[in-house]
């Protein structure tokens, strides 16, 4: 299995270029990020080239965080800002060779939000696909992200259908266990719609070596079911230890 370090949570004591090097030293096979736009893209590209680690994904900007924004693309009245955030993510990803962009929906509801989201996703695909960059959407559980437009997998699948299959799901096991459970069967049923899988312990979102999901069993089961991508470790460190990495088969 190939495990990716999410630098939005891991190695935060370092600036991003050094965090990439730290992930390499620790034995991770790739990295992914949240909102890296304050870091010069060329410096990140140099660290990626030095380590040989691929950059799997970044998120579009959240908007005005102090005002409660958590994404923009499902907010009908803020299309210009949403598309500027998409443009920013595409430009940054081109320089760094990032493979995917997670377009954040934001806090909204209803059919106008659905239409805004799908329209902005089509825009994102139009801008990103010429560079070989994929577009991902991620359902977030309502306990951690109250009011977020994309709160379950059925809604994500409806969005994919409305965009003619041009986007895929970032399937975060932490969120999906809270919302749906039955993780293996769900992935088996919707494998074609899944572009990336992330994981963290449930319910505390810490190291994936405890809690109600046995990832040492589940991740190989996903691979056996046909998932061939990386697994993104997106968790909040409690122990600071990476001993759990040794439990994931041949490295």
Query: Is 60 exceeded by the pLDDT of residue 78?
Result: yes
pLDDT classification of 159: cutoffs 50, 70, 90: very high
What confidence tens digit (pLDDT) does each residue in 214-249 have?
A: 999 999 999 999 999 999 999 999 998 999 998 775
Catalytic center residues: 138, 234
At residue 112, the pLDDT reads 98
Q: Give dist(CA 12, CA 26) in Å, integer.
A: 14
How many CB atoms sit inside 10 A of residue 69's CB?
A: 17
Is CATH 3.20.20.150 the classification given to domain 61-166? yes
Mean residue pLDDT across the chain: 96
Proportion of the chain above pLDDT 70, given as a percent: 99
**Range 99-137 burial, b when 16+ CB lie within 10 A, else e:** bbbbbbbbbbeeeebbebbbbbbbbbbebbeeeebbbbb
Going by pLDDT thresholds of 50, 70 and 90, the confidence category of residue 67 is very high
Spell out the domain ranges in the chain: 61-166
Has this prediction a pTM greater than 0.85? yes
Say which residues have a Cβ less than 8 Å from residue 241's Cβ, sequence separation at least 6. 207
Closest CA to 5 of 38, 54, 50: 54
**Mean pLDDT of the 145-159 span:** 98
Whether the predicted pLDDT of 250 surpasses 70: no
63 has a pLDDT exceeding 80: yes
Q: What's the whole-number mean pLDDT along residues 86-95? A: 98
pLDDT score for 223 = 97
Report pLDDT digits (tens) over 33-53: 999 999 999 999 999 999 999
Residue 251: which pLDDT band, with cuts at 50, 70 and 90?
A: very low
């Amino acid at each position: 299995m190939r495990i990716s370090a999410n630098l939005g949570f891991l190695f935060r004591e370092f600036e991003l270029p050094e965090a990439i090097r730290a992930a390499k030293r620790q034995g991770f096979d790739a990295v992914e990020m949240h909102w890296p736009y304050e870091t010069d893209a060329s410096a990140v590209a140099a660290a990626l080239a030095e380590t040989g680690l691929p950059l799997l994904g970044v998120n579009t900007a959240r908007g005005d965080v102090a005002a409660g924004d958590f994404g923009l693309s499902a907010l009908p009245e803020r299309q210009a800002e949403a598309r500027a955030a998409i443009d920013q993510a595409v430009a940054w990803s081109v320089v760094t060779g990032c493979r995917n962009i997670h377009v954040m929906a934001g806090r909204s509801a209803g059919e106008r939000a659905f239409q805004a989201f799908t329209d902005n996703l089509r825009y994102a695909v139009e801008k990103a696909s010429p560079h070989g960059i994929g577009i991902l959407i991620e359902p977030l559980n309502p306990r951690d992200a109250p009011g977020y437009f994309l709160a379950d997998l059925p809604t994500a699948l409806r969005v994919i259908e409305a965009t003619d299959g041009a986007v895929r799901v970032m399937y975060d096991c932490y969120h999906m266990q809270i919302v749906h459970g039955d993780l293996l069967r769900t992935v088996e049923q919707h494998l074609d719609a899944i572009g990336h899988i992330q994981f963290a312990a449930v319910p505390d979102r810490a190291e994936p070596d405890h809690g109600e999901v046995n990832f040492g069993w589940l991740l190989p089961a996903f691979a056996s079911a046909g998932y061939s991508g990386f697994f993104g470790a997106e968790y909040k460190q409690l122990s600071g230890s990476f001993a759990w990495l040794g439990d994931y088969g041949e490295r």
